[in-house]
Amino acid sequence: MATSERDPIAAIATAPGRGGIGVIRISGQQLAAFAKVLCARGSGGQPQLLMARHATLVSWRDARGEPIDRGIMLWFAAPHSYTGEDVIELQGHGGPVVMGQLLARVLELGRAHAPGLRLAEPGEFTRRAFLNGQMDLAQAEAVADLIDASTTAAARAAMRALEGRFSDQINTLVNAVIELRALIEATIDFPEEDDVDVLAHWDAQGRLDAIRSKWAQLLEGARQGLRLRQGMTVVLIGAPNVGKSSLLNALAGQDLAIVSPLAGTTRDRIEHAFDVQGLAMTLVDTAGLRESIDPIERIGMERTLAAVTRADLVLELVEADDPAPPADRLELAPSMDYARDCLGKHLPAQVPVLRVRNKIDRDGLAAGIDPAPRLGADAGQVRLSAQTGAGMALLLERLRELAGLSAVEPEFIARERHLQALLVAGEHLNSADREARESLPALELFAEELRLAQAQLGSITGEFSADDLLGTIFGRFCIGK
Ligand X SMILES: Nc1nc2c(ncn2[C@@H]2O[C@H](COP(=O)(O)OP(=O)(O)OP(=O)(O)O)[C@@H](O)[C@H]2O)c(=O)[nH]1
- Residues in contact with Mg ion by CB under 5 A are 244-245, 265-266
In this structure, what are the phi and psi dihedrals at residue 329, rounded to the nearest 5 degrees? -145, 170
Q: Treating both helix axes as pointing N-terminal to C-terminal, what angle do 443-461 and 416-437 enclose, rounded to 10 degrees?
A: 170
Distance CA 321, CA 328 (A): 19
**Interface positions, 189-218, toward ligand X (CB under 6 A):** none
Calculate the CA 343 to chain-centre distance: 30
Stretch that binds ligand X, among 56-64, 159-167, 235-243, 448-456 (CB under 6 A): 235-243
Q: Which does 242 bind (CB under 5 to 8 A by kind): ligand X, Mg ion, none?
A: ligand X
Q: Which does 263 bind (CB under 5 to 8 A by kind): Mg ion, ligand X, none?
A: ligand X
Tell me which residue of 428, 422, 399, 378 sits closest to 223, measured CA to CA.
422
Residue 59 pairs in a beta bridge with 70
In whole angstroms, how far apart are CA 436 and each of 188, 211, 331?
14, 14, 48
Stretch that binds ligand X, among 269-277, 365-373, 381-389, 425-433 (CB under 6 A): 381-389
Q: Which does 240 bind (CB under 5 to 8 A by kind): ligand X, Mg ion, none?
A: ligand X
**Interface positions, 280-319, toward ligand X (CB under 6 A):** 287-288
Tell me which residue of 312, 282, 275, 284 sits closest to 409, measured CA to CA.
275
CB of residue 399 to Mg ion, shortest distance in Å = 20
Among 358, 381, 459, 461, binds ligand X (CB under 6 A): 358
Question: Residue 89 or 297: which CB sits closer to ligand X?
Answer: 297
Confirm or reject binding of residue 246 to ligand X (CB under 6 A): yes
Peptide bond into 334 cis (omega under 30): no
Q: What is the largest CA-CA distance in the chain?
A: 86
Pair 25, 125: CB distance under 8 Å: yes
Stretch that binds ligand X, among 102-110, 118-126, 208-216, 237-245 (CB under 6 A): 237-245
Confirm or reject binding of residue 362 to ligand X (CB under 6 A): yes
Question: Residue 129 or 307: which CB sits closer to ligand X?
Answer: 307
- DSSP assignment of 249-267 equals HHHHTS--S---SSTT---
CB of residue 103 to ligand X, shortest distance in Å = 50
Question: Residue 77 or 333: which CB sits closer to ligand X?
Answer: 333
CB of residue 238 to ligand X, shortest distance in Å = 6
Number of residues that bind ligand X (CB under 6 A): 24
Distance CA 352, CA 308 (A): 11
Among 19, 116, 122, 264, binds ligand X (CB under 6 A): 264
Residue 12 pairs in a beta bridge with 24
Q: Which does 22 bind (CB under 5 to 8 A by kind): ligand X, Mg ion, none?
A: none
Sign of CA pseudo-dihedral 386, 388, 394, 399: positive
Pair 60, 128: CB distance under 8 Å: no
Question: Residue 225 or 288: which CB sits closer to Mg ion?
Answer: 288
Question: Residue 48 or 265: which CB sits closer to Mg ion?
Answer: 265
Confirm or reject binding of residue 391 to ligand X (CB under 6 A): no
In whole angstroms, how far apart are CA 473 and each of 59, 281, 413, 466, 479?
37, 24, 15, 11, 13
Query: Which contacts of 475-479 are long-range, i.e. CB under 8 A and separated by 24 or more positions?
Result: 475/121, 475/122, 475/123, 476/122, 476/123, 476/144, 477/122, 477/123, 477/126, 477/143, 477/144, 478/15, 478/122, 478/123, 478/147, 479/11, 479/12, 479/120, 479/121, 479/122
Confirm or reject binding of residue 245 to ligand X (CB under 6 A): yes
Stretch that binds ligand X, among 128-136, 240-248, 306-314, 405-413 (CB under 6 A): 240-248
Confirm or reject binding of residue 268 to ligand X (CB under 6 A): no
Question: Residue 217 or 260: which CB sits closer to ligand X?
Answer: 260
CB atoms closer than 10 angstroms to residue 175? 11
Q: Which does 418 bind (CB under 5 to 8 A by kind): Mg ion, ligand X, none?
A: none
Stretch that binds ligand X, among 13-21, 41-49, 156-164, 243-251 (CB under 6 A): 243-251
Element (DSSP H or E) covering residue 109: helix 96-113
Question: Residue 167 or 358: which CB sits closer to ligand X?
Answer: 358
Stretch that binds ligand X, among 262-270, 330-338, 346-354, 368-376 (CB under 6 A): 262-270
In this structure, what are the phi and psi dihedrals at residue 122, rounded to the nearest 5 degrees? -55, 135
Q: Which does 289 bind (CB under 5 to 8 A by kind): ligand X, Mg ion, none?
A: none
Binding positions for ligand X, rule: CB under 6 A: 238, 240-246, 259-261, 263-266, 287-288, 358-359, 361-362, 385-387
